[in-house]
Structure 1
Amino acid sequence: MANISIGLIVRFFLMFIAAALIDACAKKAPPASTPPSSTTTAAAAQNTSTPNKMTASNLWNLMGKRLAFIQEGHHGPIIYDFTDTNCPYCHLIYVTEAPLIREGKLTVRYVPVAIIKPSSMPEAAAILQANNPIAALQHAEQEIGNSMTTGKPANLPQATDSIGAAPQKTITAIKKIEVNNKFLQEVNINELPDIIYLPQKGKLGLITGFVSQKQLLALLPKLQ
């Protein structure tokens, strides 16, 4: 693989994921005032052939190297959770996942993206560039939860620069988030939230939309 260009590997990777996720259901992120539906369902992706003989495990590992994420937990199966600070469903899934992480049943790699509002990018960049991104993410989720309860705007830090020249850490964070955004575009995902997982059998799977703790618990035994 060392002789294959990164661009070619990524193209194979994106082609495979796009095909593997064709049957995922989609649900738009609602405005903050809209409560989640209890009837939202999740769909797993169909199996497909792997171009260039790259296995699901190979692609999963490549995904870990290419995407910028904030990991919570070190036990249990790993899932990737794509999240935007302006997506209420993303927050509700965060709340759903939190006890499973604390209990050592699940590890979540939160992939910050910025696709909903103009404020999404500076807020995501502030979290990613923080000295302690996990603490920054937890604080942001607490603020978002408070906002959903009170109806007041969430008080989230934003990566800004008063003199018009962003510091290097902000530029780096923004570039990483842009890579995450591009990944969603390449695999034709334009709605949030999204969870990508690696099952014990078959190819990578996708859940789009709200997922309950009961659904997550039923999925865990099937994951690597």
Structure 2
Amino acid sequence: MRPLTLTIGLLSLTAATTLSADTSWPAPIQALVEEGLEIHARFEAPSGLAGFAASHQGRAMAVYLTQDGEHALVGTLLDAEGNDLSAAPLDEHVRSAQEAEVWQELEQSHWIADGDPDAERILYTFTDPNCPYCARFHEQSRPWVDAGRVQLRHIMVGILKSDSPAKAAALLGADDPSSALQAHQTEERVAEARAQPREIEERVRANNQLFESLGLMATPTTYYRGDDGRLEQVQGAPQEARLIEMMGSPRP
């Protein structure tokens, strides 16, 4: 068997915790669980190790239990050629599930459609009514949106200025939100900060909470699924090469 290297990322600990009645985790794994680690799956690992796909505060990590069941190591397992043996299990058991959950949250958020609903590619983009870079991204996307290749779904948030929430609510609550957003983005942000029904204002608050829960800092922040199906995130108005990658095809 080829030699293996375990790069320790966090800690190594000795079993010191008794299994609780409602879990079957080995004691060192249970100790990590009680420290806040979430175990997603167990997977096969070489050299007598047992692998566990885990995460902590959204960060994926691999845990390896020694053959005697007495110690757990947290880190990246490498073979003699330097290949990362932890990446594939984490992708399968943690990252893919996390990405699916984020995509579902985006789908269920409160957004304004921009483009053909049957477009081949869907992009969710967090948009603040006072964000000039959001307007720039809107302009950048026109060739693909107008060609029916891409639909943007603008998740309206209010974070940049004091009147941003009210403007976002006004756009969400418009009789024709898509037309209202189009006018706002192309006519120097014409949305007025006016009181809206409580239901509409709550939608903006929910979008703001989603923005914060995802750890985002700036608008626009855009999510899409690449050609490989993986979730991608882009902050700001992208450069041309990145824009083409996001849109999934050359400029029409």
Paired residues, number: 166
Match of 1:147 in 2: none
Q: For residues 57 and 247 of structure 2, what CA distance do their matches in structure 1 show?
A: 21
1:6-45 maps to which residues of 2 (within 5 A)? 19=59
Q: 1:60 aligns with which of 103, 108, 120?
A: 103
Q: For residues 62 and 68 of structure 1, what CA distance do their matches in structure 2 show?
A: 10
Q: Is 1:188 equivalent to 2:215 in the alignment?
A: yes
1:88-167 maps to which residues of 2 (within 5 A)? 88-144=132-188, 154-160=189-195
The SS at the match of 2:129 is coil
Q: Shift in Å at residue 193 of structure 1?
A: 1.4
* 8 Å contact kept, 1:56–1:198: no
Q: Classify 1:95/1:221 alpha carbon distance in 2 versus 1 (closer, same or farther; 3 Å).
A: closer
Alignment deviations for residues 95-153 of structure 1 (CA, whole Å, 9 cap, x no partner): 11122100112111011100000110111111100111001101111222xxxxxxxxx
The SS at the match of 1:190 is coil
Please give the TM-score of this superposition, normalised by the length of structure 1: 0.64
* 8 Å contact kept, 2:113–2:151: yes
* 8 Å contact kept, 2:96–2:230: no
Q: For residues 56 and 149 of structure 2, what CA distance do their matches in structure 1 show?
A: 28
Q: For residues 140 and 58 of structure 1, what CA distance do their matches in structure 2 show?
A: 31
Alignment deviations for residues 135-182 of structure 1 (CA, whole Å, 9 cap, x no partner): 1101111222xxxxxxxxx5432222xxxxx6xxx2111111111111
Q: For residues 106 and 17 of structure 1, what CA distance do their matches in structure 2 show?
A: 33
Does 97-106 or 211-220 show the bigger shift? 211-220
Q: Classify 1:111/1:86 alpha carbon distance in 2 versus 1 (closer, same or farther; 3 Å).
A: same
Q: Classify 1:56/1:156 alpha carbon distance in 2 versus 1 (closer, same or farther; 3 Å).
A: closer
- Greater Rg, structure 1 or structure 2? 2
Q: Is 1:72 equivalent to 2:72 in the alignment?
A: no
Match of 1:210 in 2: 237
Match of 2:66 in 1: none
The structure carrying a bigger strand percent of its residues is: 2
Q: Shift in Å at residue 55 of structure 1?
A: 6.5
Alignment deviations for residues 18-68 of structure 1 (CA, whole Å, 9 cap, x no partner): 548xxxxxxxxxxxxxxxxxxxxxxxxx99545598364454234302x10
Q: Classify 1:158/1:60 alpha carbon distance in 2 versus 1 (closer, same or farther; 3 Å).
A: same
Kindly indicate whether structure 1 or structure 2 has the higher relative contact order, using CA contacts under 8 Å at least 6 residues apart: 1
Identity of aligned residues (%): 23
The SS at the match of 2:110 is coil
Question: What stretches of structure 1 move > 3 A for 4+ residues in a row?
Answer: 15-20, 46-59, 219-222
One-letter code aligned to 2:124: Y
Q: Classify 1:158/1:187 alpha carbon distance in 2 versus 1 (closer, same or farther; 3 Å).
A: same
Q: Classify 1:77/1:126 alpha carbon distance in 2 versus 1 (closer, same or farther; 3 Å).
A: same
Q: For residues 76 and 54 of structure 1, what CA distance do their matches in structure 2 show?
A: 23
Please give the TM-score of this superposition, normalised by the length of structure 2: 0.57
Q: Classify 1:59/1:84 alpha carbon distance in 2 versus 1 (closer, same or farther; 3 Å).
A: closer
Does 197-206 or 113-122 show the bigger shift? 197-206
Q: Is 1:198 equivalent to 2:225 in the alignment?
A: yes
Unaligned residue ranges in structure 2 (runs of 5+) = 1-39, 41-54, 61-86
